[in-house]
Structure 1
Amino acid sequence: MTLHELHRCYDCFDEFQADLPSLIQLGSLLDECITITQALGILEPLTGEHVPPETMMMQGQNWRESLIGNGLLSRNRAVLWLLERLYGSLETLRHKDVYLAEALSGFALWLRRQLGPNRLLCSEYLEDAQSAFSDISHQDLSKLTLASSSLDLVLCNDLFEHLPLLDRAFVEIARVLRPRGRLVATCPMAFGRQISIVKAVADPATGETQMFGDAELHGDPVRPEWGSLVYRIPGWEILDQLKEAGMAQAKIHHISSWKYGVLGADLPGILVIEAQK
């Protein structure tokens, strides 16, 4: 089957746009992929562990978010799939200094189990938190307290859409990475356009937020009652923004695999951003 394992890599929107009609057409295979997953389960990237179908949660039609095994979402496994191709093994990753910009998710729990605490830092943005999180590091991606050139890998999962100062965050990520260090990230994308969809703008001087239409809020374990405001849905300009911030190269991978439980919704797979300093 075509979606047994499909990987395409793009340096710009024009390259992706040429493939977009065929990718949309492959989306018709998603129901068949779910049927196979329900019968066979999946293999977890990096560990090779078989996740039996009876232990998985499969609900809804947005398989990017609702295909859950071992606490990992489909988009989480896409990140792991790419890390396996980039680094080869968990053992190699255990010798890297890694920063994950989340601490309360299933992905954070999984990564702590696999990598241990010595070279992995997990954090949350704790300003205005609704509960006390004294054992979790607070970091603001737009002004990290981490030393320059101190990290080999930065991981950001579905965070960029919530950052009011995304350009500053990219500069900070580039600053803390060592030469040839990498950013690997996912976020909801306006994948059919170059320019991002702006939903809100924050004034850095006053802190006031200007809304364009109704506020869009996503679930947030730090602020479960309020949620997290969406400022933008990034378009393909994000690659140019990363290079302007100091990354030597930036690309976006489209990854689909029923074998590894990497499936999507509007697209058959997951878009994963990779940038290298």
Structure 2
Amino acid sequence: MQAETRPQLMPSEGVLALHDVLRSYSSFDDFRPELPALLQQGSLLKDCIAVTQALGLLEPLTGEHIPPEAIQIQGSNYRESLIANGLLSRNRAVLRLLEQAYGTLGSLAQQDVYLAEALSGFALWLRRHLGEGRLVCSEYLEHSEQAFTDIPHQDLCALTFADASFDLVLCNELFEHVADLESAYREIARVLRPGGRLVATCPLAFGQREAIVKARHNPSTGEPEHLTEQEFHGDPVRPHTGSLVYRIPAWDVLDQLQEAGFSEARMHHITSWKHGVLGSDLPGVLVIEAER
């Protein structure tokens, strides 16, 4: 009896071009001319997902092949909904950039790393692969809805670490929730060693230069002053109330990082159905990188 064979998947030329792409930009002026073409490529996302669902993906840094049956897709915003090994698409974008920067998991494990989260799948992944000897994880525990006795509290605007403590700082989906983001940038620069780097993701107003400010901290009352309709994102520390969005950063984040003490700041757009890095409106994920 003839063995059953799966139908051959024949991706289009446009989809094949998105198998593994990393573009870097130093300013909005560099990015803006490419934006129309990138938005047009966004129409290929469903076809890219079809390839990933047929072939599986290669996890960055580990090189582990994750088969199609181990991949979950929980919605059309693939930046957040393409899940494998506990990692989201945007998490794998960060790993892909770290792979470009450090080469191997062993090399990354030789760095002193601060991750400003502790309860996420990404934190679990890092602890599993890097160990805890040179990795520090924390959460912002003010107004926590439950007790976390085994997780250290850190305020990104007033970190307790000594100067030049880390080679790498990772911030995933935090900048939009920080009331005084410029202070946070200065603190991150302070705790990084010369040559160290910040790698971060956050929701981005990618089509404009200036951030969308939704709320401001009122120092006289200690409470936020809302400028638009309130927006909250899910937060494992505050599962009922969520975390307030103060601003949606935009391309001015690169100038602000340099003003805070970083020697260079770039935005990377990473697209790769091969590695399970796919986006929403854009075909891939934007990742911020700044060097001390």
| Corresponding position: 1:154 with 2:169 | yes
Picking from 72, 81, 86, the partner of 1:71 is 86
Partner of 2:252: 237
Picking from 40, 50, 53, the partner of 1:35 is 50
Aligned partners of 1:94 and 1:213: how far apart in 2?
Answer: 43
SS at match of 2:138: strand
Partner of 1:117: 132
Aligned-pair distance for 1:70?
A: 0.1
* Superposition pairs of residues 204-219 of structure 1, within 5 angstroms: 204-219=219-234
Deviation sequence 1:202-256 (CA, Å, 0-9, x none): 0234312111121100000000000000000001000000000000000000000
Aligned partners of 1:206 and 1:213: how far apart in 2?
Answer: 19
| Corresponding position: 1:247 with 2:254 | no
Deviation sequence 1:28-67 (CA, Å, 0-9, x none): 1111111111111100000000111111111211000000
Picking from 152, 160, 164, the partner of 1:137 is 152
Picking from 100, 123, 127, the partner of 1:85 is 100
The number of residues matched between the two structures is 277
Q: Cα RMSD between the aligned structures?
A: 0.7
% identical aligned pairs: 65
SS at match of 1:155: strand
- Superposed structure 1 runs of 4+ greater than 3 Å apart: none
Partner of 2:5: none
| Corresponding position: 1:21 with 2:36 | yes
Letter in 2 for 1:176: V
Partner of 1:106: 121
Letter in 1 for 2:93: A
For structure 1, list consecutive stretches of 5 or more residues without a partner in the other structure: none
TM-score computed with the length of structure 2 as normaliser: 0.94
TM-score computed with the length of structure 1 as normaliser: 0.99
Aligned partners of 1:120 and 1:97: how far apart in 2?
Answer: 6
* Superposition pairs of residues 168-187 of structure 1, within 5 angstroms: 168-187=183-202
Aligned partners of 2:37 and 2:48: how far apart in 1?
Answer: 17
SS at match of 2:38: helix
Letter in 2 for 1:177: L
| Corresponding position: 1:274 with 2:282 | no
Aligned partners of 2:130 and 2:240: how far apart in 1?
Answer: 32
Partner of 2:7: none
For structure 2, list consecutive stretches of 5 or more residues without a partner in the other structure: 1-15
Aligned-pair distance for 1:196?
A: 0.2
Partner of 1:10: 25
Letter in 2 for 1:217: F
Aligned-pair distance for 1:274?
A: 0.3
